[in-house]
Amino acid sequence: MIISLLFLLLVWPPPLAVGPILAAGAVDETFVQVIMQPLVSVFENLDFILNYTAMVNAWSGRTGIPVVVLWPEKSIFTTNDLSGMITIMAQQHSKTWDLIGMDNIWPAVFAEPLLHPLDGVMSSASIARHAPSSLDAGTVNDTLYAVPLYSDGGALFYRSDLLTKYGFAQPPTTWDHMELMLSTILAGERTTNPSLTGFITQLSSYEGLTCNVAEWLASANLTMFLNSTSELSITSPAAQATAAGLLSRFRRWIDLGLIPPASLLYRESESSNAFMQGKTVFMRIWSRYATFLRSRGVNFTWGVAPLPGESEDLVGASTFGAALLGINKYTANVTRAALVAEFLSGIESQRMFTTAFGLRPTIPELYQDPDVNRIYDSALLSSTRITNRPASFCNDHYLTVSDVIYSRVNQVLAGFADAQSTIASINIAIADLLGIDHFGSPQNLPWYTLPSIVVETIVAVLVAIILVLAVLLVHHRDAASARRVPTEFLVGVLVGSMLGALAPLTYVGTPTLLMCEMRVILLGFGFTITASCMAAQDFRVYLIVSSPLRRVASDVNRILWQSLIAAWVLEGALVGLWLGLDPLVPVDVKVDHTWRYTNCASKSYAFQVAMLTAQTFLCCCLIGICIWLAVRNRGVSPKANTSGEAMSLASYLIAVGAGGTLIILCVTNPGPLPQMLVMATAVAFVVLSVLWAYLVMQLRGSHTVEDSSWMGTTIHASSSVLSAGLDSSTGDLSGLHGVAVAHMSEAHILVVRMPPQGLILSLRKIASVSSCCPGTFSFTATFAAGLLEVYTRSEADLKEWHERLAHAAAASNPTATASPNLLGQQNGTPAAARGGVPATDLLANTTLSMQVATAFEQPPTCVRSLSD
Ligand SMILES: *[C@@H]1O[C@H](CO)[C@@H](O)[C@H](O)[C@H]1NC(C)=O
Ligand SMILES: *[C@@H]1O[C@H](CO)[C@@H](O)[C@H](O)[C@H]1NC(C)=O
Ligand SMILES: *[C@@H]1O[C@H](CO)[C@@H](O)[C@H](O)[C@H]1NC(C)=O
Ligand SMILES: *[C@@H]1O[C@H](CO)[C@@H](O)[C@H](O)[C@H]1NC(C)=O
Ligand SMILES: *[C@@H]1O[C@H](CO)[C@@H](O)[C@H](O)[C@H]1NC(C)=O
Ligand SMILES: *[C@@H]1O[C@H](CO)[C@@H](O)[C@H](O)[C@H]1NC(C)=O
């Protein structure tokens, strides 16, 4: 009696807000104090409250544990007020209420701050008596925090009078079946009852629509977006198609008029009103509305059935709505609170909720209970498949998740959004909200997929071409070296091309650390070596042309090698810096919120771009040098190398273009497929054009005097011997006319070597060259002294040169080294050199051997006298 009085004090006057309710529950450790989830109007349900209190008091009498149950007045204390109150309790570590009733979407939010785990506190039997899926809502991270007090679930209400009228004995078990019934009944009824509609449910943009969606998905054996391990459940294309199909079905029903468009604004009250007025054949609503309808009375017969499924065995999906009871973890005596929880979630209490309000029991034992069966068919209860909303898997994000679901589905049903893309977008929104990694495994293309095979083939072809060219190069070594290009540089181009050609392979498959590093090394060194060897060839020409007198072949080669090695060391330093400081490592790239692939990237994007820019800059410099040298050297051999020049220029441009492409690729991350294909294409383009311009052109065809004579390297062609007067008596250079030998109008430069001194003379505009013995490298050359003067650098150079020649001649056999003497004469050097020997004889004994672009390969093998 005292307890009842206390209860009345607590609820009378009804609490107005959170504060009073918290104050009302003054901490009295004598009583176990329970606050219920707002369910009833205290005034209208006094009868029930008194009965419930009596039941609780009876239990208190048996156990000696006094209990106070507070029923907040539903009309002034909402579920939101309760959750606000629980939040405050958690912050204050309040023990005002030992047991807290809450909606089944709250445990995930309140478990951590306020609720006590129930396993080991409540008896396992008292937990196990509940249907397993009814415990899911109270289970967070595999720990049970709340047990059901009562539950509810969606069910199909139907006009049995209309079904019978059209020969349908049973309510539908599948959506297809239901569609058939609707078409039949509406077709027949609408002539007399035009306002009759087919199916009404809660499609407004609110939590009720989420409950519907959960049932629709369950009716196709799909889990409501999130499964119990908080992973997205509708991810496979098949599942997404099924889910989209369900939404499309209800959209179609709206189109067909089977669902009234107004239903897009309906909640529970609008739905039940429409059904009570006989305006619809079917209605989906919470099953407790059966009690409500019975209390109101309608002038047609109706029934309640499980909701249909996509197939017959998927019938009975029913969204779980429930009040759960949790124990405040700050309670004074958990054992005592748990005993009360066991009782309140037990058979007696649940039966009372069912008989009073039509709320469903969660204890299967009660499915056969006569009192319960007066309200619910035991078949309906046991055929129900409890369908949970994903509240307990969302931490405290459920309300937002639900908002995402109902607002977007509402758009689909209204015809404003596409079902398929909405399912995908809901997934993405939920994943973003909960931080779920929903991108699947990296979508890099494994080596056996078609694009990869294409790329591998391209690489294989390039490698094969390079190998073939290498073999050809070995075979035609002499021919190649006879050109302006020394073999080493051609090998360099081959090696560089080979490295570059392998680079696309690092884009195949999911990159590993090694692959990422190889990307830097192959691309960096490949292009630098190629470009530097390309540049070296023109650089060599430049060196010789720009300073004819100064350069000896070995000198030229030394400068070339120094430049090349400088470029390679620079590249090596860049690569080392990159790999050493912040190397490319495999990273996840997420695309369009939908999929991911693994790409290579440095931790610092700025550093990556800087290194890429530095490498590109180096390459561009080399290519720029190539272009400049090609332009600079273009006059060197107007006839012989025009096509080669054009090709080189073209390939430089291609290389620049391809370089740009590569940079764009590396910086913009377009995804693995374009990246791989563009990289392979660009590399193939560059490698092939470089190989064509620098190898094929060099190795191809027989070389003639004309195509090679520009540097005089291989002048072994037959030359008609002409004689010309050589006036050696004058001491005047301009008076010196060489002995015209060969028609070498194309020869601009001749570098002659005069053994044994090894001096090399570089001359422009050779007047004549005579061949010695066919097939050798020995020549006799004469030249116009006037031209010599024109093209040498300075008077001082010339003098020094003359002196050295004369000196050498004086020290050696005068007859074997005629030319120095001859020249010496012109320079006015000692008469000893001149003495008595006819100039023609001197000239006749001169042996000149050619060498320009290549090292001197063969010593002169014979001497030919011009005077013969
Ligand atoms: C309360 O109990 C009385 C007597 O047992 C019963 O007649 C009445 O229907 C009950 N009321 C409710 C709402 O359960
Ligand atoms: C459940 O796990 C999540 C993530 O691990 C955590 O944030 C949350 O606090 C946990 N909840 C409870 C009640 O333990
Ligand atoms: C529903 O899916 C589960 C597995 O996800 C499967 O075991 C079960 O057989 C399916 N049920 C039906 C009726 O298809
Ligand atoms: C949840 O879904 C993921 C992927 O969809 C699956 O790997 C996992 O096993 C599922 N967990 C459960 C408990 O069904
Ligand atoms: C049943 O009641 C509705 C309103 O509640 C009324 O419009 C309808 O005419 C009634 N039907 C019959 C057969 O009385
Ligand atoms: C807690 O309650 C139980 C059951 O009523 C009782 O046996 C126990 O002594 C209580 N413990 C404390 C510390 O009051």
**Contact between 42 and 9 (Cβ < 8 Å):** no
Instruction: Write out the two tokens for 855.
Output: 């090292």
Sign of CA pseudo-dihedral 698, 701, 702, 705: negative
Work out the percent of the chain whose per-residue pLDDT is above 90: 45
pLDDT the model gives residue 774: 41
The answer to whether residue 843 scores a pLDDT higher than 70 is: no
- CA of 756 from ligand 2 middle (Å) equals 92
Centroid of ligand 5 to alpha carbon of 286 (angstroms): 23
The pLDDT of residue 224 is above 50: yes
The span from the CA of 181 to the CA of 281, in Å, is: 9
Domain with CATH 1.20.1070 in the chain: 450-503+517-575+615-671+678-704
**Paired tokens of 380:** 């309906």
Q: What's residue 710's pLDDT?
A: 37
92-131 pLDDT, tens digit per residue, is: 999 889 999 999 989 999 999 999 999 999 999 999 999 9
782 or 303, greater pLDDT: 303
Mean pLDDT in the chain? 77
Give the whole-number percent of the chain exceeding pLDDT 70. Answer: 71
Could you tell me which of 828, 841, 856 has the C-alpha nearest to residue 754?
856
Architecture of domain 450-503+517-575+615-671+678-704: Up-down Bundle (1.20)
Residue 150 pLDDT > 90, yes or no? Answer: yes
3-state helix, strand, coil in the chain (%, to 5): 55, 10, 35
Mean pLDDT of all residues in 619-636: 77
Q: Contact 215/318 with Cβ under 8 angstroms?
A: yes
Query: Which tokens is 99 given?
Result: 């047991």
Distances (CA, A) of 605 to 506, 598, 774: 20, 16, 64
**pLDDT over 50 (residue 187):** yes
| CA nearest ligand 1 atom 4, residue | 51
In sequence order, what are the beta bridge partners of 518? none
Which residues make Cβ contacts (< 8 Å) with residue 327, sequence separation at least 6?
Answer: 98, 99, 100, 115, 116, 118, 121, 334, 337, 338, 341
Query: Which pLDDT tens digit goes with each residue over 648-683?
Result: 666 666 667 767 776 676 667 778 888 888 888 888
Q: Give residue 336 CA to ligand 6 midpoint distance, Å.
A: 6
- Under the banding of pLDDT at 50, 70 and 90, the label for residue 629 is confident
Helices (H) and strands (E) in the chain, counts: 34, 20
Residue that the structure tokens 């001169």 belong to: 846
**The token pair that represents 394 in the structure block:** 């969302």
pLDDT-derived band at 821, boundaries 50, 70, 90: very low
Residue type, 310: E
For the cut 90, the answer to whether the pLDDT of residue 783 exceeds it is no
Read off the DSSP letter of residue 508: S
From 43, 46, 48, 51, the mutation candidate for ligand 1 (largest count of ligand atoms within 8 A of CB) is 51
Q: What is the pLDDT of residue 28?
A: 64
Task: Give yes or no for residue 315 having a pLDDT over 80.
Answer: yes
Question: Helices marked H in 582-717 — which ranges?
Answer: 605-632, 642-668, 672-691, 697-699, 705-708
Q: What is the pLDDT of residues 29-87, one digit of tens each?
A: 688 999 999 988 888 899 999 999 999 999 999 999 999 999 999 888 888 888 888 89
Given a cut of 70, whether residue 375 has pLDDT beyond it is yes
Q: How many residues does the chain have?
A: 868
pLDDT score recorded for residue 818:
33
Q: Is the pTM of this model over 0.85?
A: no
- Going by pLDDT thresholds of 50, 70 and 90, the confidence category of residue 554 is low
Q: Which residue has the higher pLDDT, 226 or 844?
A: 226
**Whether the predicted pLDDT of 633 surpasses 80:** no
Cβ of residue 592 lying under 6 Å from some atom of ligand 1: no
Residue 367 above 90 pLDDT?
A: yes
Would you state the pLDDT for residue 483? 53
CA-CA distances (angstroms) from residue 601 to 588, 590, 613, 616? Answer: 9, 13, 14, 17
Phi and psi for 133 in degrees, rounded to 5? -70, -15
Residue 308's SS3 state is coil
> How many whole angstroms separate alpha carbon 28 and alpha carbon 159?
52
Question: Which atom of ligand 2 is closest in space to residue 141's alpha carbon?
Answer: 1
> Which range, 274-288, 610-624, 703-717, has the best average confidence (pLDDT)?
274-288
Query: Where are the CATH 3.40.190.10 domain residues in the chain?
Result: 2-151+321-374, 154-319+397-434
Q: How do strand 280-286 and strand 197-200 relate by DSSP bridges?
A: parallel
Ligand 3 centre to CA of 221 (Å) is 6
* Cβ of 313 below 6 Å from ligand 3: yes
Q: What is the C-alpha separation between 299 and 289, in angstroms, rounded?
A: 16
| Residue-wise pLDDT tens digits, 702-715 | 444 333 333 433 33
What's the 386 CA to ligand 3 centre distance in angstroms? 15
pLDDT the model gives residue 60 = 95
Q: What is the DSSP string of 313-325?
A: GGTTEEE-EEEEE
Q: From atom 10 of ligand 5, which residue's Cα is the shortest distance away?
A: 299
pLDDT digits (tens, 9 = 90+) for 316-359: 999 999 999 999 999 999 999 999 999 999 999 999 999 999 99
Q: What pLDDT, on a 0 to 100 scale, did the predictor assign at position 701?
A: 55
Q: List pLDDT tens digits, range 482-541.
A: 455 667 788 888 999 999 999 999 989 888 999 999 999 998 999 899 888 888 877 877
Domain 2-151+321-374, second-level architecture: 3-Layer(aba) Sandwich (3.40)
Cβ–Cβ under 8 Å, residues 612 and 667: yes
How many angstroms is it from 562 CA to the middle of ligand 4? 63
- Asked if the 154-319+397-434 domain carries CATH number 3.40.190.10, the reply is yes
Q: Which residues contact 171 (CB under 8 A, 6 or more apart)?
A: 156, 158, 160, 163, 303, 305
